[in-house]
Amino acid sequence: MFGHLLLLCAIVGLLSCTVFLSLLAAAFVRFKSRPLPQILPSRWPSVSLLKPLHGLEPGLEENLESFFRQDYPQYGIVFGCRQESDPALDVVHAVCRRHPQIPVRIVLSGEPDHPNAKVCSLEKMAAAATSDYLVVSDSDVQVTPQYLREVTRPLLQPEVGMVTCLYRGVPSRGLWSRLEALGMSVEMTAGVVIADMLEGLKFALGPTMAIRRDVLEEAGGFRVLADYCADDFVLGQRVFEAGKQVLLSHYVVDHVALHQRCAASLQHQVRWMKSTRFSRPKGHIGTGLTFAMPFGLLGLAAGFAIGDPLLGLALFLFAALNRMAEALLAGWGVVRDPLALRHFWLYPARDLLGFFLWCASFASTNIVWRGERYELQMGGKMVRVGAAGEVAQASETVAVDELA
């Protein structure tokens, strides 16, 4: 009796993840066949790139330099750091010396006065920016020279309030970085394109958020995001609620998976899972039915329990093939990640790891981010916890340095 119950659970789970794979196939076709904006402006608007920085990261210099090589007529870059002693600024100065033609400003925001330090910095960076077209991009992102044209063009349509981009994971080094990068290219991509197909995009993705200043102000500005962990999700949601379209660009950025050690990689991924759990709890619970390998293992165990090991093995192999197909559809088909094409056979292991990370997201309400401990609350807000369990207080200082 117990073996048959396991078998039933395995079959239901495998049917569920197969429906998810079918939706992904439909979303893949839609994404590739969707027409691109045909606007060719006589004069491109000036753009300000906002780049928050925090310490040295693998590939930082190459990542930043890609933004200095944009095929765009008029743009500047605003970098934001907490302190002048941040070693990332040494990299900025080195890149600036090689590209003196690009206007650069550096904003020293001081210690944050709200839990989300990145958003506190972005608010001050936006105030220092000279353009009404703003593109927020993380420091672990690398792009091609066409990037700014691709993400700015749709914003010339009045109904479009924000443009965001999918990303393919780029491992820095080691197995754990590779597995995390695969999750970026496959798991994240699949969820985003299916959500875009079913209900339209109601959120943004942090590696790229392009927005007009008037839309940002209508959405409440960066300040309203300062207490949230998933600030990209909340900003996209507010833009959507303001009656503007959040557009998923065809352009795909490269996103470096920074964490090379097991503990750091797992901690980062659990933090992301927890932020999703509190930002959209119903969707996060439903995510548990999109994994295949846990149900494949359940089917394998059920097969042995009922005396039919071949049936169990068939269910396990079906689950593995299901995940390989997902890796090829999302990782290669949508975002053209060569890692997903070469290592699609590895994705069943990543799927199983993703399930355990999903389970771990329910273990507590605490996260560690940039060396600080926070408690997550319903709705996605977070509270920074000090040594005595109180909200940490911070000073507010601003300095702006302009580089020719």
Do residues 300 and 350 both lie within one domain? Answer: yes
Do residues 277 and 293 both lie within one domain? Answer: no
Which pTM value belongs to this model? 0.90
> Number of structural domains, the chain?
2
Task: Return left, alpha or beta for 104; rule: phi > 0 is left, psi -120 to 50 is alpha, else beta.
Answer: beta
The per-residue DSSP string of 380-393 comes to SBEEEB-TTSSBPP
Residue type, 287: T
- Whether 297 is covered by a domain: the verdict is yes
Do residues 264 and 298 both lie within one domain? Answer: no
Do residues 254 and 125 both lie within one domain? Answer: yes
Contact 205, 121 (CB under 8 A): no
- Whether 131 is covered by a domain: the verdict is yes
The residue among 16, 316, 329, 283 whose CA lies nearest residue 185 is 329
Phi, psi of 223 (to 5 degrees): -55, -35
Do residues 50 and 164 both lie within one domain? Answer: yes
- Whether 49 is covered by a domain: the verdict is yes
Do residues 150 and 23 both lie within one domain? Answer: no
**CATH number of the domain where residue 66 is located:** 3.90.550.10
- Whether 367 is covered by a domain: the verdict is no
- Whether 368 is covered by a domain: the verdict is no
- Whether 36 is covered by a domain: the verdict is no
- Whether 313 is covered by a domain: the verdict is yes
Do residues 223 and 356 both lie within one domain? Answer: no
* HSE-CB of 21 using CA atoms within 13 angstroms: 20
Do residues 347 and 267 both lie within one domain? Answer: no
Domain of 10 in residue numbering reads as 2-30+289-360
Residue type, 366: N
Do residues 314 and 264 both lie within one domain? Answer: no
Do residues 304 and 269 both lie within one domain? Answer: no
- Whether 70 is covered by a domain: the verdict is yes
Q: Packing angle between helix 60-67 and helix 88-98, nearest 10 degrees?
A: 40
Roughly how many angstroms between the first and final C-alpha of the chain, as a whole number? 75
Do residues 318 and 396 both lie within one domain? Answer: no
Do residues 138 and 257 both lie within one domain? Answer: yes
Coil, helix or strand for 254?
A: strand
In order along its 404 residues, the chain shows pLDDT tens digits of 788 899 999 999 999 999 999 999 999 999 999 887 667 787 899 999 999 999 998 899 999 999 999 999 999 999 999 999 999 999 999 999 999 999 999 999 988 888 888 999 999 999 999 999 999 999 999 999 999 999 999 999 999 999 999 999 999 888 888 999 999 999 999 999 999 999 999 999 999 999 999 999 999 999 999 999 999 999 999 999 999 999 999 999 999 988 778 888 888 899 989 999 998 888 899 999 999 999 999 999 999 999 999 999 999 999 999 999 999 999 999 999 999 999 999 999 999 999 999 999 999 899 887 777 889 988 889 888 853 344 333 333 345 555 54
